[in-house]
């Protein structure tokens, strides 16, 4: 389906939720992609995509995604999947102009109908944070912000970790405290060993929802690594104001496959519950490893035995509710 066809599918008046409940057909399962990106690297500056040499990245070489990726490119990759809504997450735009990405995304949405919501760039420990959040809070497209907090490798982490730009940094927290004033949620991208800090944040600011990106990055697939990831998720899931996006679980050098990723997906859902999880493509970033259509095929295969109502929650309803789609 093309971008126009997807937009048309949304506007047909068909209740795709009801249709899926009636047919049970995977092709009728509506999807609200909870985490995707658009890039126009010819027009806009993204340091990690435009600068050379490329930065080290968890999937390895990402040269293949250093190109434009717009709604038409997204839907070219969708195959038969009925993606009706998408949520764009900031793409590490030029930090000198955080509001520039919103202006551009608003233009793209006006022209194509996608995305339907956005979590924008903000730097919580910068002096401009109050004025930036005031703009975001007044814009109907923006539902939250992302600022990746300071982090360290697992072997360097200590329970009392505290650094400038981290979740325990006073200035960073002062910026975070402003989110509630503008009814903005927080997109948290951090490795799972930092989730104890995130739990403190959730308790200290209970009116701000935290949406964990990319399943808290279970990159270590050893028995010990996955056990530690599960334990960290279980502790964090005790906080009522947290939600989990299941995405970003690619294994470097391997195509996305159910055998490798199925246990991770099922553990995440078991720990957080179907009411607090959403599926997402992380496209085009996960395109380093596989096609968008194959990733959604994998999520569908893993959940095929689930109650249809739970599949609707995971693929569409939870994302629509959280982001007000």
Question: How do residues 261-306 score in pLDDT, each as one tens digit?
Answer: 999 999 999 999 999 999 999 999 999 998 999 999 999 999 999 9
Which residues have C-beta within 8 Å of that of residue 183, sequence separation ≥ 6? 137
Per-residue model confidence (pLDDT) at position 5 = 55
Per-residue model confidence (pLDDT) at position 6 = 53
Bigger pLDDT: 232 vs 55: 232
**Quick one: CATH architecture of 3-323?**
Alpha-Beta Barrel (3.20)
Secondary structure element (H or E) that encloses residue 117, with its range: strand 117-121
How far is Cα 13 from Cα 150, in angstroms, rounded to an integer?
A: 45
Q: Is the pLDDT of residue 106 over 80?
A: yes
3-state secondary structure of 168: coil
- pLDDT of 13-51, one tens digit each? 678 889 999 898 899 999 999 999 999 999 999 999 999
Closest CA to 292 of 310, 302, 306, 279: 279
Q: Is the pLDDT of residue 11 over 50?
A: no
Q: What angle do CA 305, 308, 313 make, to 5 degrees?
A: 110
Residue 247 pLDDT class (50, 70, 90 cuts): very high
Per-residue model confidence (pLDDT) at position 13 = 65
pLDDT > 90 fraction of the chain, expressed in percent and rounded: 88
3-state secondary structure of 259: helix
Four-point Cα dihedral 90, 92, 95, 97, nearest 10: -50
Bigger pLDDT: 145 vs 4: 145
Determine the average pLDDT of the residues in 74-86. 94
Per-residue model confidence (pLDDT) at position 10 = 55
Phi and psi angles of residue 38, each rounded to the nearest 5 degrees, phi first: -120, 140
């Amino acid at each position: 389906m093309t971008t126009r066809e997807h937009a048309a599918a949304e506007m047909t008046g068909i209740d795709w939720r009801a249709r899926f409940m009636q047919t049970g057909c995977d092709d009728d399962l509506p999807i609200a992609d909870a985490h995707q990106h658009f890039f126009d690297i010819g027009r806009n500056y993204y340091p990690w995509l435009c600068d050379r040499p490329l930065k080290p990245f968890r999937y390895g070489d990402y040269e293949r995604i250093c190109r434009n990726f717009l709604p038409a490119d997204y839907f070219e990759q969708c195959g038969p999947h009925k993606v009706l809504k998408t949520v764009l997450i900031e793409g590490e735009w030029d930090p000198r102009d955080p509001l520039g990405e919103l202006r551009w995304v608003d233009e793209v949405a006006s022209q194509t109908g996608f995305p339907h919501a956005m979590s924008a760039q903000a730097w919580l420990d910068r002096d401009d944070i109050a004025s930036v959040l005031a703009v975001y809070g007044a814009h109907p497209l923006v539902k939250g912000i992302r600022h990746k907090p300071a982090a360290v490798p697992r072997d360097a982490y200590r329970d009392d970790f505290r650094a400038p730009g981290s979740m325990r940094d006073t200035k960073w927290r002062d910026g975070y405290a402003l989110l509630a004033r503008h009814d903005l949620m927080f997109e948290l991208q951090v490795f799972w060993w930092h989730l104890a800090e995130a739990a403190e944040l959730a308790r200290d600011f209970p009116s701000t929802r935290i949406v964990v990106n990319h399943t808290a990055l279970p990159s270590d697939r050893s028995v010990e690594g996955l056990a530690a990831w599960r334990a960290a998720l279980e502790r964090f899931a005790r906080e009522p104001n947290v939600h989990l996006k299941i995405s970003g679980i690619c294994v470097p050098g391997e195509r996305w496959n159910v055998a490798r990723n199925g246990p991770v997906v099922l553990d995440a859902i078991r720990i957080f519950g179907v009411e607090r999880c959403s599926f997402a493509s992380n496209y085009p970033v996960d395109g380093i490893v596989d096609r968008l259509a194959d990733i959604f095929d994998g999520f569908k295969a893993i959940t095929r035995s689930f109650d249809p109502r739970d599949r609707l929650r995971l693929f569409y309803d939870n994302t629509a509710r959280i982001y007000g789609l």
